Amino acid sequence: MGFADNYFVRFQAEPAPDSQPVPNNLGLAVVIPAYNEPDIEDTLISLLHNDDPGCVTDVILVVNAPDDDSKQSITRNLTDFQHYSEFANTLDHPFIRLTVLWKTFSKKYAGPGSARKYGMDIALDRFNRINNKDGVIISLDADAVVAKNYLKAVYTHFQNNPKQDAATIYFEHPYQEDDDPIILYELYLRYFRHALQWSGYPHYFYFIGSCFAVKVSAYAEQGGMNRKNAGEDFYFLNKIELNGNLGECNNTFVYPSGRISDRVPFGTGPEVKKIKATGSYNVYSIKCFELLSRVVQCIDNSYGIEKSTYNDLIKAFPEPVITWMKKIYLWDHIKDAHKNTTGKKAYFKRLYRYVDTFKIIRFLNYASETLYPKSDVTQESAMLADKLGIHYEDNAGVSLLEAFRLHDRG
């Protein structure tokens, strides 16, 4: 009996499409969804040139399309599938096994979430067949390339951090010029993650579909990947962060594409398109995060308090913040956490599971609309860098981005 048998029964996940034997030393599986991707070859070459991680690695390429897609698009994707299937059949690699799959999804569920889930479920099935619950599934995109030590660094990271359920992987979007729009978008990603941490809010992480890995045991326990058309990475990592242990693997590189795209309603492609059109990017003001810091302090002082003390605490906040607290029924959930836990650690884990990242984003949106309007990302990032003691040359986007990158690598 495999460790994930219940997952496949409970979630009616699809079985593996082949019955090839699974090597006992399978340790990694890299899942790559691909839809109308011109650069798959670059992604595969970067993996094939990797250092030996010390285990067999499955690379699962899921070429996919909506079932109502145009004939031209279906033909193009089928051509990719046939081309890379032939390549996989002739591949003789010392530690990488390439599997190429073709899958169409209904219009309702078509997108990177469904393709990622399909490939990850297949990876889980293969680990389940050898009962290796410590195997690691890596999420990558077909327009990203990786460093030479990528596989080894990820595999070693989980060996050295056995209590971590998942980890984000260090990334840098390539750029050619100092005014490349991807610079401001990546700066925003780093600003948002570090501003959350600076505020004291306990759940902060990068959310990029091509830059994370998860242990198969945690993947099964958390119900697997979702099928969302966009933001599937955020939803999944948020679930891991709230219920498990999410770390960071910062000693290797993923180079995701910063191209303009309309394939999904939000994410890198659409945001880069906006930046290119306007030449700027407005983000949550640092004052919103300062206000969030006060909210976090209020929550952190809530253990064992009475309603009257709570009312006194929230009086110090601006009216919009008090309104937000009422909208999310914060006091009711403070009572619930007191009633259903014993000890501070369990209390705060339960309470912050309710005050999750989605609620914090709604708070930041509400604070931006009512108190502190959004402002230029370079201006806000410079103020955050000053608070964190991050040295930067000037207020230009490229200088600030490189400073935050160095901070993360360090």
pTM for the model stands at: 0.94
Average pLDDT estimate for 356-370: 95
Examine residue 17 and state whether it is found in any structural domain, yes or no.
no
Q: Is the same domain home to 212 and 300? A: no
Residue 343, classed as helix, strand or coil, is coil
Distance of CA 366 to the CA centre of its chain: 24
How far apart, in whole angstroms, are the C-alpha atoms of residue 362 and residue 335? 22
Residue 329, pLDDT > 80, answer yes
Listed residue (215, 247, 232, 209) closest to 4, CA to CA: 215
CA separation for the pair 113, 32 (Å, rounded)? 11
For residue 299, give its domain range.
286-370
Same domain, 273 and 341: no
Number of domains in the chain: 2
> Which of 220, 181, 235, 219 has the alpha carbon at shortest distance from 397?
181
Q: Is residue 248 domain-shared with residue 305, that is, in the same domain?
A: no
Mean pLDDT value across residues 382-388: 98
Same domain? For 299 and 259 the reply is no
DSSP string, 46-98: HHHTSPP-SSEEEEEEEEEEETT--HHHHHHHHHHHHHHHHHHHH---SSEEE
Q: Helices 344-354 and 330-340: crossing angle, nearest 10°?
A: 140
Q: What is the mean pLDDT of residues 143-164?
A: 97
The answer to whether residue 13 scores a pLDDT higher than 60 is: yes
Confidence of residue 16 (pLDDT cuts 50, 70, 90): low
Q: Do 48 and 175 have their domain in common?
A: yes
Is 237 part of a structural domain of the chain?
yes
Phi-psi group of 367: left, alpha or beta (phi > 0 → left; psi -120 to 50 → alpha; rest → beta): alpha
Same domain, 157 and 216: yes
The sign one gets for the Cα dihedral 258, 362, 241, 298 is positive
Given a contact cutoff of 8 angstroms between Cβ atoms, the answer to whether 384 and 198 are in contact is: yes
Q: What is the CATH number of the domain that holds 173?
A: 3.90.550.10
Quick one: 204 and 352 in the same domain? no
Q: Is residue 4 part of a domain?
A: no
Average pLDDT, integer, range 393-407 = 96
pLDDT tens by residue, 173-189: 999 899 899 999 999 99
- Domain membership of residue 172 (yes or no) is yes
User: pLDDT tens digit string along 128-152?
Assistant: 999 999 999 999 999 999 999 999 9
Percent of the chain scoring above 70 in pLDDT: 95
Overall residue count recorded for the chain in this entry: 410
- 388 occurs within a structural domain: no
- Which of 234, 258, 279 corresponds to the end of one domain? 279
Residue ending a domain, choose from 279, 295, 320: 279
For residues 82 and 195, membership in a common domain is answered with yes
pLDDT band at 264; cut points 50, 70, 90: very low
Average pLDDT over residues 336-361: 95
Please state at what angle helix 330-340 crosses helix 307-314, rounded to 10 degrees: 140
Residue 161 shares a structural domain with residue 200: yes
Domain assignment of residue 405, yes or no = no
Q: 50: left (phi > 0), else alpha (psi -120 to 50), else beta?
A: beta
- pLDDT for position 100: 96
Instruction: Kindly report, residue by residue over 35-86, the tens digit of the pLDDT.
Output: 999 889 999 999 999 999 999 999 999 999 998 999 999 999 999 999 999 9
How many Cα atoms sit within 13 Å of 101 on the Cβ side?
27
The answer on pLDDT for 260 being more than 60 is no
Same domain, 213 and 297: no
351 shares its domain with 202: no
The mean pLDDT of 271-297, rounded to a whole number, is 93
Task: Among 239, 255, 279, identify where a domain stops.
Answer: 279
Q: What are phi and psi of 324, to 5 degrees?
A: -60, -45
- Average pLDDT along the chain: 93
Same domain, 234 and 300: no
Average pLDDT over residues 298-304: 96
Instruction: Give buried/exposed letters for 179-216 (b at 16+ CB in 10 A, else e).
Output: ebbbbbbbbbbbbbbbbbebbbbbbbbbbbbbbbbbbb
Has residue 150 been placed in a domain? yes
Distance of CA 260 to the CA centre of its chain: 19
Inside any domain, residue 392: no
Which residues lie across from 380 on neighbouring strands?
Answer: none
